[in-house]
């Protein structure tokens, strides 16, 4: 599907920038913009040129908003139409969906996201999704209790040592709770990304920033890029399109989780110890059925039971989407069908939507599992309780 990505605020801008760096030119990426009130954060973006990034909110004076979500909401209401116009050069009318990426605990991005979602929904008859980064509990701790909190804002791309520390944002959890509520009302679905769950032992949020941005960008590309292949490449047997994603995640602002896994395999062009490429035949080497079945079963289970963008309590979901990709010769139909049946039992979903994503000359089999209508993850419940 053709996706237009908007990075709002520092965190959202960095992930949008990473998507542009890794996937500019890929068919699924219809457009990318970075919007912020902070000029320094925008200037730190590398892949998004000046024509794709824009500072809004002169009232902020070119700086961030210091965690003031109400100020961010006021700026969003005042500038949503302006931001919509800034996207026009990339022909947003050709997009099949919009994805707003933002740090939920911030002020500029989180504050403006609901108003921009409403503006895009008003202008275009396409779904608007949100990908929101959940704050870590350590961000709200008192500075005296957490010596890592010396960095007050953690500006993206700052050359100072503070850029690798955990930012101190006492309002982050409350901001996130209010922003989640607003985005659930204004977006078709919300994809939270739980930063804390992805941190390694002893790792700070600032120090992990680049790695976490890469993980988030990879998950977004794995899902939304699955239905778009370069012209002239293999056609999927089960074509995935924008309507499949929309049916899987729903339209009522529910939380959705993305699981993703890959497993290296031999390219048929390299020949295989199981294949027929040992005697100089011009035909591609055949893939052993047992090896293909094992690879597909493994990646589906890893995508479902491995670390998702957010916790899925009990693995349960109302709706589930399965996408299996890799070299066409490895996409064994029977194995994929078995994987769908296993996933239906694992999630309790009445029906499993699915598609495949052939990658000619690829060297890995992959699976994406998207679950929507999940029980409330513990981290989101903790965040919501901060305003109850």
| C-alpha–C-alpha distance, residues 124 and 121, integer Å | 5
Nearest to 339 by CA among 356, 351, 322, 326: 322
The annotated binding site is made up of 139, 195, 213
Token pair of 309 as six digits = 């963008």
CA distance 131 to 223: 12
Please name the residues in contact with 273: beta carbons below 8 A apart, sequence gap of 6 or more.
none
Strand order across the beta sheet in which 128-134 lies: 53-55, 29-36, 3-8, 97-103, 128-134, 189-194, 254-264, 364-372, 319-326, 352-358
365, 120, 97, 24: which is closest to 244 by C-alpha? 97
Annotated binding site for GTP: 139, 195, 213
| pTM of the predicted structure, to 2 decimals | 0.89
Radius of gyration of the chain (CA): 21
> Residue 149: its pLDDT value, please?
38
Nearest 5°: phi and psi at 252? -110, 20
CA distance 114 to 42: 21
Which domains are present in the chain? 3-225 (3.40.50.1440), 242-372 (3.30.1330.20)
**Cα 223 to chain centroid, rounded:** 8
Helix (H) or strand (E) holding 370: strand 364-372
Written as tens digits, the pLDDT of the chain (388 aa) is 899 999 999 999 999 999 999 999 999 999 999 999 999 999 999 999 999 999 998 866 555 687 899 999 999 999 999 999 999 999 999 999 999 999 999 999 999 999 999 999 999 999 999 999 999 988 877 654 444 333 333 333 444 444 566 678 889 999 999 999 999 999 999 999 999 999 999 999 989 999 999 999 999 999 999 866 655 555 556 678 899 999 999 999 999 999 999 999 986 655 444 443 333 444 556 789 999 999 999 999 999 999 999 999 999 999 999 999 999 999 999 999 999 999 999 999 987 899 988 888 889 999 999 999 999 999 999 999 999 8
Token look-up 């939507």 returns 353
Is the CB of residue 284 less than 8 Å from the CB of residue 164?
A: no
Q: How far apart are CA 178 and CA 386, in angstroms?
A: 10
């Amino acid at each position: 599907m053709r996706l237009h990505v908007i990075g709002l605020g520092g965190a959202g801008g960095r992930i949008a920038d990473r998507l542009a760096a890794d996937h500019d030119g890929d068919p699924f990426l219809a457009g990318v913009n970075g919007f912020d009130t902070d000029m320094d954060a925008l200037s730190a973006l590398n892949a998004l040129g000046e024509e794709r990034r824009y500072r809004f909110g002169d009232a902020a004076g070119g700086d961030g908003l210091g965690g003031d979500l109400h100020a961010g909401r006021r700026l969003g209401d005042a500038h949503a139409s302006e931001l919509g116009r800034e996207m026009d050069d990339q022909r947003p009318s050709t997009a099949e969906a919009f994805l707003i990426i933002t740090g939920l605990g911030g002020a500029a991005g989180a504050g403006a996201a609901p108003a921009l979602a409403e503006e895009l929904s008003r202008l275009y008859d396409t779904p608007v999704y949100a990908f929101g980064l959940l704050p870590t509990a350590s961000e709200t701790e008192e500075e005296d209790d957490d010596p890592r909190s010396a960095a007050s804002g953690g500006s993206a791309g700052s050359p100072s040592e503070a850029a690798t520390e955990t930012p101190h944002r006492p309002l982050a959890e409350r901001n996130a709770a209010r922003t989640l509520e607003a985005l659930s009302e204004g977006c078709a679905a919300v994809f939270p990304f739980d930063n804390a769950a992805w941190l390694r032992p002893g790792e700070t949020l600032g120090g992990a920033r680049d790695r976490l941005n890469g993980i988030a960008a990879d998950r977004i590309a794995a899902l939304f890029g699955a239905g778009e292949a370069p012209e002239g490449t293999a056609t999927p047997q089960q074509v995935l399109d924008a309507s499949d994603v929309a049916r899987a995640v729903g339209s009522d602002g529910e939380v959705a989780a993305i699981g993703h896994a890959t497993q290296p395999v031999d390219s048929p062009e390299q020949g295989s110890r199981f294949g027929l490429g040992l005697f100089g035949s011009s035909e591609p080497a055949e893939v052993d059925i047992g090896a293909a079945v094992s690879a597909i079963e493994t990646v589906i289970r890893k995508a479902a039971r491995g670390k998702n963008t957010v916790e899925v309590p009990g693995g349960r979901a109302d709706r589930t989407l399965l996408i299996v990709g890799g070299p066409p010769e490895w996409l064994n139909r029977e194995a994929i069908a078995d994987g769908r049946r296993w996933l239906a039992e694992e999630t309790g979903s009445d029906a499993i939507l699915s598609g495949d994503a052939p990658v000619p000359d690829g060297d890995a089999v992959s699976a994406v599992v998207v679950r929507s209508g999940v029980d409330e993850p513990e981290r989101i419940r903790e965040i919501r309780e901060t305003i109850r």
